[in-house]
Amino acid sequence: MTGQLTGTAAALYDHIKDLPIVSPHGHCDPSWFAGDAAFSDPAALLVIPDHYVFRMLYSQGVNMADLGVGPEGQGADPRAVFRLFADHWHLFLGTPSRVWIEHVLYQTLGIGTALSPDTADAVFDQIAERLARADHRPRALFDRFNIEVLATTDGALDDLGAHVAIRDCDWQGRVLPTFRPDGVLDPGDPAFGSNIAQLETDTGCDLSTYGGYLQALRQRRAYFISRGATATDHAIEEVHTEWLTDPEAQYQMIRKGGGNAQAFYGHMLIEMAQMSVEDGLTMQIHGGSRRNTNALIMDRFGRDMGADIPVATDWVRGLEPLLRRVGNSTVFKLILFTLDETTYARELAPMAGHWPCLRIGPPWWFHDSPAGIARYFDQVVETAGYHNLAGFNDDTRAFLSIPARHDLWRRCVAMHLSGQIDKGYFGRDDAERIAQLLATDLARDAYGLAR
Amino acid sequence: MTGQLTGTAAALYDHIKDLPIVSPHGHCDPSWFAGDAAFSDPAALLVIPDHYVFRMLYSQGVNMADLGVGPEGQGADPRAVFRLFADHWHLFLGTPSRVWIEHVLYQTLGIGTALSPDTADAVFDQIAERLARADHRPRALFDRFNIEVLATTDGALDDLGAHVAIRDCDWQGRVLPTFRPDGVLDPGDPAFGSNIAQLETDTGCDLSTYGGYLQALRQRRAYFISRGATATDHAIEEVHTEWLTDPEAQYQMIRKGGGNAQAFYGHMLIEMAQMSVEDGLTMQIHGGSRRNTNALIMDRFGRDMGADIPVATDWVRGLEPLLRRVGNSTVFKLILFTLDETTYARELAPMAGHWPCLRIGPPWWFHDSPAGIARYFDQVVETAGYHNLAGFNDDTRAFLSIPARHDLWRRCVAMHLSGQIDKGYFGRDDAERIAQLLATDLARDAYGLAR
Amino acid sequence: MTGQLTGTAAALYDHIKDLPIVSPHGHCDPSWFAGDAAFSDPAALLVIPDHYVFRMLYSQGVNMADLGVGPEGQGADPRAVFRLFADHWHLFLGTPSRVWIEHVLYQTLGIGTALSPDTADAVFDQIAERLARADHRPRALFDRFNIEVLATTDGALDDLGAHVAIRDCDWQGRVLPTFRPDGVLDPGDPAFGSNIAQLETDTGCDLSTYGGYLQALRQRRAYFISRGATATDHAIEEVHTEWLTDPEAQYQMIRKGGGNAQAFYGHMLIEMAQMSVEDGLTMQIHGGSRRNTNALIMDRFGRDMGADIPVATDWVRGLEPLLRRVGNSTVFKLILFTLDETTYARELAPMAGHWPCLRIGPPWWFHDSPAGIARYFDQVVETAGYHNLAGFNDDTRAFLSIPARHDLWRRCVAMHLSGQIDKGYFGRDDAERIAQLLATDLARDAYGLAR
């Protein structure tokens, strides 16, 4: 995806391409930076952990175990995995995965050989050679990538040991945790009971009462804040919030394994929002993904294995109870991420163009792609403007792809703004200002990351 | 949004830009034209009544009372309001509001200073100077705007005094009422009971029976027709119609404060359609807006304050009972307006491409914008053609923005048709003919406004 | 729609425009090729059977009987019908129907006069002259069109006599049946009872048990396979599948006119999928069309008369039970066709990018059009790639329009791929390879038509 921009778009891209990377939401492992060990091998880096990659191969009949995925894939030969991937490289034509991986190979890693079935071994060897170098260790890459700040996603019960280690070492990289409490809020989570027990142990709070439960949650939030967190995150299938008149009673039923899980979780989202008003953590809701729709794959390979599928989402009615309680706050920030693009123009843009707390998150997951980004701008800006957007985040666990993803976003921003100029919406000066907002400033603001 | 069109698009725009304005649906106040008093001040004209404007400022933390809105805003200094608006002018980059307001300022009012925080006072003064002139009174502007006809929207109980005054004065402007009966049809309206009582008083009909109720409605429709009305209008959140087997019984329950409000309202929409078959009034349905979702704002500022949010809409099942009774009529016209763009290609275009009565209304509200209009043409024309569209209407209470809105539509029409020529759909001659249809003729036809 | 492509798009189109036509799904009548009689007249060929045509005319007030449609249209003068159509030719501006019919008239039939109200008789005469020639008989046109294979759609009880006749004659054209069993699977079909009785008679199976019913279905599938079928087809309004724990009990209730029709049909879809795993027939599901919404038209003119309207569709939850049973099969192929374009990016592309069995069918019905095809590529490719698509099918009963429809698809493919090159997705060589996939190869593969 390089060398394609011309004219005004190229100029706007030049204006922002070298800005630092602000990465306020993603799934990198903080222990990479705490330990700074070399990445192991090309397959473990580029194929095995990337659900965009193995889902496509699986859809065309490739056995996931042969790709080294999951328990069955343990012990797969990395070189054989990489060959199998290269054999199916044509499947990715037209997908952002191909764009990202090409950027990683040819720009980030400086591989000089084009990937194809015939060059799999040569490319594998070149990548492996790079990974063995000291200048390709996680911290060195982080610095070279010009990452200003990187937020990880961490369970509410995480001790944040890696984050503490990063803070206490002599490396200056800014890696922050994000508070992801779904495991201790959602009674539908199979581990909910044991999570609550651990929450009680960790906090020393008395979880036999609802008040104690809230106190434990507040304590965990405070702990995350003390370790640098500026945001929380929730992933929910159906967007549902409701305010219970007697949460204590519901809590007691939930504790005994009964109760209404959806109602309780919907209530707790409002409690979380109210705590955000108090403690200032920006709240994120990723809504509308139906998880683990393939039972066979779930049983054999576990979660996050490519069978999470979006469903239609009703943000208006789903969020109404939450917004009625806290939506008029001017200190609260709530960022919404959707997989149902029909809600961009119909729901999210009108909502964000009214409620002071709301920001629209960037195109997420399947829609973090050139056409997806174009649809996003086309459908949100006219109603919400630019200042109700939350900028970009890469949302990735593929560390090496972070520059590729931000670069793609910045190219798409430049193309969008060039088109806006052509339509007469505004001139070059305004476009440059908005380009910088979209590249870095809106994200810093939405997540409270400015220093 | 000026000076941007080139080539064929510019030529097509030139072909239609000076056609008269046909404005068959909107929310201007007829008393402006009955009294012809000068507009009071720039804030009262451009900021305070425009929910597109204050919703955006509110979404970024501006207090609505400081903008002069609502009871709490009474007595706000117009100059201070205008300054606050100018301070946030950058928020509107990329929105049609900015395009419209720029058109109003620089073209309609001839202001020579670009609006910015630094120029707020200067621009305010220049606008105020214009408004004081005789040639900027409502009737003079109406004539200068080359408005062929302007329809207002009037409650069923309105005495249409302003309309009578306009008709009886020596000014020749054509201002027509539109029959909006929701207040006397929807038992869910808090004022329904008192409205019905007033309907009985006004008409002298006996509303103790369903037959008397229908008679009163017929009488009000006839009164509106006698004052020039050619259309009715309904605004409903969920599109629902049904034909009751015993409406009398339901009516009696409703009168006693019971009954099924949705069923009754759904039935009355069919009765209205049947009356339209009899009396020739074009029927409009604006569907899918969830009103007043922000209870705090509703309590403090009232209705229409920016918290109306679209929801997903099912036109197919919702209208089926109505269409089964009157949809095959070739004299009945029913214009549908949606806020759920997913229904353009999926529902409205196939429906309008079959049922003789149906016309698709132009992009409405949040979608009356360059990208919104492009999506509309992209998604409706291939299935419905052009002749099943209802042309354009501005749907505005911002009188000064009417030329801006029609101009933007005509520019977008020219761009769309230029693209169709490029795709080989048709040649320049057909494009010019369609341009005129979309600019004026289809609206005249759909609303029966030809003389 | 000719002569419009330039540059890379024109070159890509040249690369594929003369490839043979692979038509794996449509509604041509096999008896045309078995008997090879001349087509009767221009109205019977181009107007009366084309619901795209008469629905548009009906929507603008034309009486369908005057168009020769249905029982009331019997005996209409073909010339008068054609004149009425020509009088309204302007209604089709901007629709694919106009593009297709122009292609048929000016390229396929070589008519030298442009269709208009004034030329109706002249064009009628020229068409009639062509149809009388031996080189315009069905088989000659089939050969001239360069059709490699044409699949029809045939009820499960069809004796496939025409197909047998085609196979046994000396003409080499490849015309195959498709197994469409809805009439013997869906208890909601008014003819279900009599269909089941005929199924029992035809197969000699004992349909008093569920096992016998399954056996009869297997027998019919085998018969279709023996006559060349490679696929099945289902048309359902609401996508619903479920696996019954006791299908025998449900079957017995259904046989007595009771039971749960939706549950039974949803179960039978899974049985069909399982039989496909066994016998290799590719399964097609056309979902989301609400049939016969206009009761008056249904009563007077019958089915397929233009009042079938799409509704919102939930493929994720609807197919989940089926996919859980057979979705991980690498030999099973299931092609999904949607009329709800919101499911392209939200549901179908993520699903097809995971499940080995799934392929996304081409834009269907209302969306088989230039803008519809552009939206399709824009929304499916980035997530599903190209190899999870099923290529193109024309889905038409208008035999003469087959070259027009494939030509339009190929032009749109060329435009799409040219745009992808411009965006930097891939180069010319890859684009040429993908163009051929989309024109012919993916369809051959998805339907098992390669020889």
Chain A CB contacts of B366 below 8 Å? 345, 349-350, 382-383
Nearest Cβ partner for A385 among B56, B309, B311:
B56
Residue B215: its H or E element: helix B210-226
* pLDDT(A421) > 80: yes
Residue A155: its H or E element: strand A154-155
Closest Cα in chain A to C355: A59
Grade residue A451 by pLDDT with cuts at 50, 70 and 90: confident
For residues B50 and B112, membership in a common domain is answered with yes
* pLDDT(B63) > 70: yes
Question: Does some domain include residue C265?
Answer: yes
Cβ pair A357, A332 in contact under 8 A: yes
pLDDT tens digits, C127-164: 999 999 999 999 999 999 999 999 999 999 999 999 99
Question: Does some domain include residue C2?
Answer: no
Quickly list H helices, B227-368. Answer: 247-255, 261-279, 295-301, 315-326, 342-343, 349-352
Interface of C with A in 355-414 (CB under 8 A): 355-356, 358, 378-379, 381-388
Q: Give CA torsion, residues C141, C145, C147, C152, to 10 deg.
A: -50
Rg (CA), chain C: 22
Grade residue C3 by pLDDT with cuts at 50, 70 and 90: low
Chain A CB contacts of C345 below 8 Å? 341, 366-367, 372
Question: Does some domain include residue C51?
Answer: yes
**Number of inter-chain CB pairs under 8 A, B vs C:** 117
Closest Cα in chain C to A288: C346
- CB atoms A310 and C346 under 8 Å: yes
Give me the mean pLDDT over the B213-240 stretch: 97
Quickly list H helices, C227-291. Answer: 247-255, 261-279
A55 and C CB contact within 8 Å: yes
- CB atoms C56 and B379 under 8 Å: no
For residues A108 and A186, membership in a common domain is answered with no
User: In this predicted structure, what is the pLDDT of residue A390?
Assistant: 98
Which is nearest to C163 in space by CA: C149, C175, C171? Answer: C175
Question: Does some domain include residue B75?
Answer: yes
For residues A401 and A361, membership in a common domain is answered with yes
Closest Cα in chain C to A369: C382
* Beta-ladder partners of B236: B287
For residues B278 and B365, membership in a common domain is answered with yes
Strand ranges (DSSP E) for C237-304? 282-287, 289-290
Q: Which range of residues forms the domain containing residue B89?
A: 38-135
Cβ pair C386, A93 in contact under 8 A: yes
Question: Does some domain include residue A27?
Answer: yes
pLDDT tens digits, C389-425: 999 999 999 999 999 999 999 999 999 999 999 999 9
**Cα distance between residue B435 and residue B440, in whole Å:** 9
Residue of C341, C346, C379, C434 for testing the chain A interface, max A β-carbons within 10 Å: C346
Cβ pair A169, A161 in contact under 8 A: no
* pLDDT(B430) > 90: yes
Structure-block tokens of residue C250: 């449900």
Cβ pair B3, A424 in contact under 8 A: yes
Give me the mean pLDDT over the A110-127 stretch: 98
For residues A122 and A215, membership in a common domain is answered with no
For residues C32 and C51, membership in a common domain is answered with no
User: In this predicted structure, what is the pLDDT of residue B306?
Assistant: 87
| The residue type at C395 | D
Beta sheet of B147-151, edge-to-edge order: B21-23, B147-151, B175-176
- CB atoms B370 and A423 under 8 Å: yes
Chain B CB contacts of C55 below 8 Å? 353-354
Chain C CB contacts of A372 below 8 Å? 345, 382
Structure-block tokens of residue B76: 């706000």
**Cα distance between residue B274 and residue B326, in whole Å:** 7
Rounded to the nearest integer, the mean pLDDT of chain C is 97
For residues B317 and B352, membership in a common domain is answered with yes
**Chain C: closest CA distance from residue A338 (Å):** 10
- CB atoms B311 and A430 under 8 Å: no
Q: Which of B84, B105, B135 is the last residue of a domain?
A: B135
Grade residue A26 by pLDDT with cuts at 50, 70 and 90: very high
* pLDDT(B438) > 70: yes
User: In this predicted structure, what is the pLDDT of residue B4?
Assistant: 77
- CB atoms A294 and C430 under 8 Å: no
B347 and C CB contact within 8 Å: yes
Question: Does some domain include residue C361?
Answer: yes
Closest Cα in chain A to B289: A346
Nearest Cβ partner for C58 among B323, B354, B383:
B354
Residue C22: its H or E element: strand C21-23
User: In this predicted structure, what is the pLDDT of residue A1?
Assistant: 52
Rounded to the nearest integer, the mean pLDDT of chain A is 97
Q: What percent of chain B has pLDDT over 90?
A: 98
| The residue type at C290 | R
Give me the mean pLDDT over the A91-105 stretch: 98
Nearest Cβ partner for B425 among C61, C94, C310:
C94
**Chain A: closest CA distance from residue B68 (Å):** 17
- CB atoms A312 and C317 under 8 Å: no
Residue A360: its H or E element: strand A358-360
Q: Give CA torsion, residues C415, C418, C419, C422, to 10 deg.
A: -160
For residues C141 and C128, membership in a common domain is answered with no
Lowest mean pLDDT among A292-306, B362-376, C53-67: A292-306
Q: Which of A86, A119, A134 is the last residue of a domain?
A: A134
CATH of residue A313's domain is 3.20.20.140
Nearest Cβ partner for A430 among B58, B93, B311:
B93
The SS3 assignment for A153 reads coil
A114 and C CB contact within 8 Å: no
For residues B103 and B251, membership in a common domain is answered with no
* pLDDT(B241) > 70: yes
**Cα distance between residue B442 and residue C436, in whole Å:** 43
Grade residue A306 by pLDDT with cuts at 50, 70 and 90: confident
Cβ pair B356, B328 in contact under 8 A: yes
Residue of B91, B116, B366 for testing the chain A interface, max A β-carbons within 10 Å: B366
B222 and A CB contact within 8 Å: no
Around Cβ C290, how many Cβ atoms within 10 Å? Answer: 18
Residue for token pair 């649906």: B25
For residues A189 and A95, membership in a common domain is answered with no
Chain B CB contacts of A328 below 8 Å? 294, 296-297
Chain B CB contacts of A350 below 8 Å? 308-310, 366
Domain count for chain A, please give it.
2
For residues B114 and B141, membership in a common domain is answered with no
User: In this predicted structure, what is the pLDDT of residue C214?
Assistant: 98
Which is nearest to B339 in space by CA: B296, B286, B391? Answer: B286
Question: Does some domain include residue C451?
Answer: no
Which is nearest to B445 in space by CA: B240, B237, B287, B231? Answer: B231
- CB atoms C311 and B316 under 8 Å: yes
Chains with 3+ CB–CB pairs under 8 A to A are: B, C
Which is nearest to C327 in space by CA: C353, C361, C345, C364? Answer: C353
- CB atoms C382 and A372 under 8 Å: yes
User: In this predicted structure, what is the pLDDT of residue A24?
Assistant: 98
Residue of A296, A309, A366 for testing the chain C interface, max C β-carbons within 10 Å: A309
User: In this predicted structure, what is the pLDDT of residue C1?
Assistant: 52
**Chain C: closest CA distance from residue B352 (Å):** 7
**Chain B: closest CA distance from residue C133 (Å):** 31
Nearest Cβ partner for B92 among A328, A345, A385:
A385
- CB atoms A91 and C351 under 8 Å: no
* pLDDT(C355) > 80: yes
* pLDDT(A406) > 80: yes
Give me the mean pLDDT over the C49-53 stretch: 94
Closest Cα in chain C to B421: C4
Q: With the C-alpha atoms ordered A97, A101, A107, A109, is the resulting torsion angle positive or negative?
A: positive
Residue of C51, C59, C300, C367 for testing the chain B interface, max B β-carbons within 10 Å: C59
- CB atoms B59 and A356 under 8 Å: yes
Question: Does some domain include residue B1?
Answer: no
- CB atoms A345 and B307 under 8 Å: no
Chains with 3+ CB–CB pairs under 8 A to B are: A, C
Chain C CB contacts of A294 below 8 Å? 323-324, 327-328, 354-355
Q: With the C-alpha atoms ordered B44, B49, B52, B55, is the resulting torsion angle positive or negative?
A: positive
For residues A263 and A289, membership in a common domain is answered with yes
User: In this predicted structure, what is the pLDDT of residue A4?
Assistant: 77
Nearest Cβ partner for C310 among B350, B355, B385:
B350
pLDDT tens digits, B137-187: 999 999 999 999 999 999 999 999 999 999 999 999 999 999 999 999 999
User: In this predicted structure, what is the pLDDT of residue C306?
Assistant: 87
Q: Which of B135, B163, B198 is the last residue of a domain?
A: B135
**Chain C: closest CA distance from residue A229 (Å):** 32
Closest Cα in chain C to B358: C59
CATH of residue A114's domain is 1.10.2020.10
Q: What percent of chain C has pLDDT over 90?
A: 98
* pLDDT(B109) > 90: yes
- CB atoms B312 and A420 under 8 Å: no
Chain A CB contacts of B408 below 8 Å? none
